[in-house]
A and B are shown apart, each in its own frame.
Chain A
Amino acid sequence: MTAARLSGPSAEPSAEDAGSREQHRARYPDATGHVERDGVRVFYEVYGSGEPTVLLLPTWSIIHSRLWKLQIPDLARRSRVLTFDPRGNGRSDRPVDADAYAETEYAADALAIMDATETDRAVLVSLSMGAQRALVLASEYPERVAGAVFIGPALPLRRTIPGREASKDFAARLDSDAGWAKYNSHYWRRDYRGFLEFFFGECFSEAHSTKPTDDAVAWGLETDAESLILTQLAPGLRDRDDVLARCARVRCPVLVIHGAEDRIRSVADGEEVARATGGKFVRLEGAGHIPNVRDPVQVNLAIRDFLASIGGRA
């Protein structure tokens, strides 16, 4: 069962936080807390007020909720915003068995946080792997989901990005560390930082992306190779049929945003999710895998329009 602890408005960061760890934020949460499920504590933040509540879901545990730092201050001017660190990174626990990283666990964390914050329904915003838990929630708990925004969804739809074939040999000992061969458990154990730099270099394929890349690598270093390896062994959505069946069960309004130059997940996947859910599709030409960071103005305005279309404050 869920044990929630709400601490009061969080103050300015300590000198230590500001100097070394995290840069000064545009906005600090109005409340923070943890939920605990099966001994795993998950950290969340609450910002602002106003309907509908927007739940910014975690993505792959390689990074944490600062992923949304360019969305939170803007969205919280009109809406209540929830965000949480994924199990495995940030201020959430790092469980040591793979099953604890199952997609259903992330989805259950989201529900627990909605319960703890007395949130009946929320608009879900997800990036990449976050699409899996968003789809679990939207298909199995439609009464809790007022809308869903998928950004660069990473779902098992069976399309492979050219050049990524090597990443299928995750557990094999490979002869090479070149390119996507770095997507490999042995390499992660050998040179975790090297993997982070490669992976986020692929994510931020746009020119002049040093800051987003540095941020993401630093967030990646807040977890470790062993935790990330567990996330790869954990059960996710089964396959293409599972994804499409869940899409067909989605009843809420949907917006899909996908960069046409995404090197992690094909833009065709995003188009398919939009088609399968009857959602709207926004194609960002020239954009890579994480447009909410690299093209934040466009993404924020698209999310705002979406929220207004389902009754939020314009």
Chain B
Amino acid sequence: MITESRVSSWTRALGRRRKALYVSSPIGLGHAQRDVAIADELRKLHPDLEIDWLAQHPVTAVLETHGERIHPMSAELASESAHIAAESSGHDLNAFQAIRRMDEILLANFMVFHDVVAEGHYDLVVGDEAWDIDYYLHENPELKRTAFAWMTDFVGWLPMPAGGEREAFVTADYNAEMIEHVERFPRIRDRAIFVGEPDDIVPDDFGPGLPSIRDWTERHFAFSGYITGFDPAPLIEGRDDLRRELGFRSDERVVLVTVGGSGVGEALLRRVIASYPDAARRVNGLRMIAIAGPRIDPSSLGAPPGVEVRAFVPSLYRHLAACDLAVVQGGLTTTMELAAARRPFLYFPLGNHFEQNRHVRHRLKRYGAGRYMDYATSTPEVIAEAIASELDRPIDYRPVETDGAARAAALVAQVI
């Protein structure tokens, strides 16, 4: 008898189906949604393609609803979202330092990845802001075993003023290392995709004596346009039906307040809720719905009459598409969903979050979407005034691309 542990198998190359390992960043909610859309488009281009996902919470939740196949070794990944939550407080998250302080988790997860690709006979790895894979493959180029497609919606670590000279030095050093990596080992990224257009790239340099981020990115990346992961057209056209379905009356002005799934949003929620009485005096029929998310106890927020606090709503993007105005943090996914659905919104980037304050803000400015709000100076009165004035603002946003997932998939499909 042959015991199972002594059996191994190997499939002849031409007998193999195409096989990809997809790694989607768990930081923020948007990567999973766009990656599922890209995966669908990839399968159209390569119908024999099998995709495994090396993924962790909250990406796994999205993948499960789409019936995607999660690699069992995913269970061995260390949690990035728990780390990010631990790095946040109030309305503040120094995103650069948080990633930098995640070195231990990134290395641990790279080692898991290394074992997965050592055994999986994958043709392709797609890494959507999979920092661990990109960094450590450049550090250990001989460990590359598959084609590698790298994807990101921002390029360049940027310092925040509170970080002073030291943060400016360290971000530049991180950028310099990345540039050296990519230029010395162009063979690591078979395809690098910027999720956006060249005009979405910030006008800054990588640091003193380093290239312009835009020039360099245009030389080293292909561009997919923005990827929403859903088609906004039916939401825009069917908005009246959607409002009826969600119970929004035609004589109501519905303000939706949402802060994503983390506990970081509580400070903003409280402040926006506090603006309600003032805002309601300025706007007839104002109704405020605040979505607390899984980590904040709705009853703890002390909402006044007229404000409904809900723990959760299914298909948040449909609520966002139906509302009259949204109040949100400065994350790319939610703000761009609102831009795509052509709704007015106020956005409050987290303090010291370079991506929300600089990269995302630059992009939203290009689309002409949303009103930037500074949390530090926004009293409830300031917020009430902004709600009242933005509710009636005409929507002249630049249209958001709808072919981003297909463009990204076409770029990736060329390397398998």
Which residues of A pack against B, CB within 8 Å? 12-13, 15, 18-19, 23-27, 69-70, 73-74, 77, 207-208, 210-211, 295-298, 300
Which residues of B pack against A, CB within 8 Å? 76, 78, 82-83, 86-87, 89, 100-105, 107-112, 114, 136, 139-140, 143, 169-170, 173-174, 176-177
**In the bound complex, do residue A296 and residue B83 qualify as a contact, i.e. CB atoms below 8 Å apart?**
no
Of the A-B pairs whose beta carbons lie under 8 Å apart in the complex, a sample of 28, sorted by A's number, is: A12-B82, A19-B86, A23-B86, A23-B102, A23-B104, A24-B82, A24-B86, A24-B101, A25-B104, A25-B105, A26-B78, A26-B108, A27-B108, A69-B104, A70-B104, A70-B108, A73-B104, A73-B107, A74-B108, A77-B112, A208-B174, A210-B169, A210-B170, A211-B100, A297-B110, A297-B114, A297-B136, A297-B143
- Select which of B76, B83, B173, B174 is within 8 A of A24 by beta carbon: B83
- Select which of B82, B89, B110, B139 is within 8 A of A19 by beta carbon: B89
From B102, B108, B109, residue with most partner A Cβ within 10 Å: B108
Q: Which residues of A contact B107 (CB under 8 A)?
A: 26, 70, 73-74, 296-297
Q: Which residues of B contact A24 (CB under 8 A)?
A: 82-83, 86-87, 101-102, 105
| Top 7 A-B residue pairs of the complex, sorted by shortest distance between their CB atoms | A73-B108, A26-B78, A26-B108, A18-B86, A24-B83, A208-B177, A23-B101
From A26, A77, A211, residue with most partner B Cβ within 10 Å: A26
- Give complex CA distance A295, B110 in Å: 13
- Give complex CA distance A69, B102 in Å: 11
Closest partner residue, chain A, to B105 (CB atom): A26
Interchain nearest-CB distance for B363 vs A (Å): 28
Q: Which residues of A contact B108 (CB under 8 A)?
A: 26-27, 70, 73-74
If A24-B83, A77-B76 touch, whether A207 touches B177 (CB-CB below 8 Å) is yes
If A26-B108, A70-B107, A73-B104 touch, whether A297 touches B83 (CB-CB below 8 Å) is no
**In the bound complex, do residue B139 and residue A295 qualify as a contact, i.e. CB atoms below 8 Å apart?**
yes
Closest partner residue, chain B, to A296 (CB atom): B107
- Give complex CA distance A64, B329 in Å: 39
- Give complex CA distance A57, B104 in Å: 19
- Give complex CA distance A302, B102 in Å: 23
If A297-B110, A297-B136, A297-B143 touch, whether A13 touches B103 (CB-CB below 8 Å) is no
- Give complex CA distance A282, B411 in Å: 40
Closest partner residue, chain B, to A212 (CB atom): B103
Interchain nearest-CB distance for A15 vs B (Å): 8
Q: Which residues of B contact A298 (CB under 8 A)?
A: 140
- Give complex CA distance A298, B114 in Å: 12
Q: Which residues of A contact B143 (CB under 8 A)?
A: 297
If A23-B83, A300-B111 touch, whether A208 touches B176 (CB-CB below 8 Å) is yes
7 more A-B residue pairs beyond the given contacts A24-B83, A296-B107, A297-B110, with a C-beta to C-beta distance below 8 A: A19-B86, A24-B86, A27-B108, A73-B111, A74-B107, A208-B173, A297-B107
Interchain nearest-CB distance for A55 vs B (Å): 20
Q: Which residues of B contact A74 (CB under 8 A)?
A: 107-108, 111
Q: Which residues of B contact A296 (CB under 8 A)?
A: 107
- Give complex CA distance A300, B100 in Å: 21
Q: Which residues of B contact A23 (CB under 8 A)?
A: 83, 86-87, 101-102, 104
